[in-house]
Amino acid sequence: MTAPEPAPAPPYEQMPPPPPPRKRRTGRIILIVLAAMFVGLVLLIGGCFLLVNESTKDAQKVSDEFVTAVQAGDTAKAYSLTGPSFREATSEADTAEFVKSISALVSKDAVAPDGKAISTSTDNGKIAVFTYKLKAAEGNGSVYFKTQIRDEQGRWQVMNFRSAETALDTDVE
């Protein structure tokens, strides 16, 4: 008699080892959140910059024309760019006197605004503010100039302006 053959061993299925526990990637998560916040901030600032530039484009044309007229001593042109609220407070003769005195102090070099802002309120409507740094006529120092342009009667018109020996801000006065 021959000895019975042993029964074959049941097939052994080896289980794959469990995956290693996932490491928390806190540093990566923080970096992603900070990068997203930075991109959002850049987009917000860029959007505000474009909004102000687009909103003030037409107002800036009026302001630039006014400053150019003041530099040239063109009192009629300067007064023609003013609005009803300005004309209620200031006569053409007073404006002409001021324009002539300022034009004697500043050079005729072309200028662009150093600062700009736009404000909208229910009381005053839309007001754009521009600041300029004009070179002095003798080349010694600067004269700072600020215009406030308001949307009146369907177009941008000079509401107020002033000059100073020190830098001016873009706050509505």
Looking at residue 77, what is its pLDDT?
92
Residue 71 has a CB neighbour count (10 Å cut-off) of 25
Domain 59-164 has CATH 3.40.50.11540: no
Please, what's the b/e burial string for 107-146 (b: 16 or more CB within 10 A of its CB; e: otherwise)? beeebebeebbbeeeeeeebbbbbbbebbeeeeeebbbbb
Closest residue by Cα to residue 151 from 170, 130, 121, 125: 125
Looking at residue 139, what is its pLDDT?
72
Distance CA 119, CA 94 (A): 28
The string of DSSP letters for 68-95 reads HHHHHT-HHHHHHTB-HHHHHHS-HHHH
Looking at residue 55, what is its pLDDT?
60
Give per-residue pLDDT as tens, 35-69. Answer: 888 888 888 877 766 666 666 678 889 999 999 99
pTM, entire model:
0.66
Give per-residue pLDDT as tens, 126-150. Answer: 889 999 998 888 777 888 999 999 8
- Please give the average per-residue pLDDT across 19-36, as a whole number: 80
Closest residue by Cα to residue 147 from 87, 59, 74, 72: 59
Collapsing DSSP to helix, strand or coil, 150 comes out as strand
Looking at residue 110, what is its pLDDT?
85
Give per-residue pLDDT as tens, 76-132. Answer: 999 999 988 888 888 899 989 989 988 888 888 888 898 888 887 777 788 899 999
Looking at residue 158, what is its pLDDT?
92
Distance CA 169, CA 173 (A): 10
Residue ranges of alpha helices (H) inside 8-90 are 26-72, 75-80, 84-89
- Domain limits, the chain: 59-164
Over 90: is that where the pLDDT of 26 sits? no
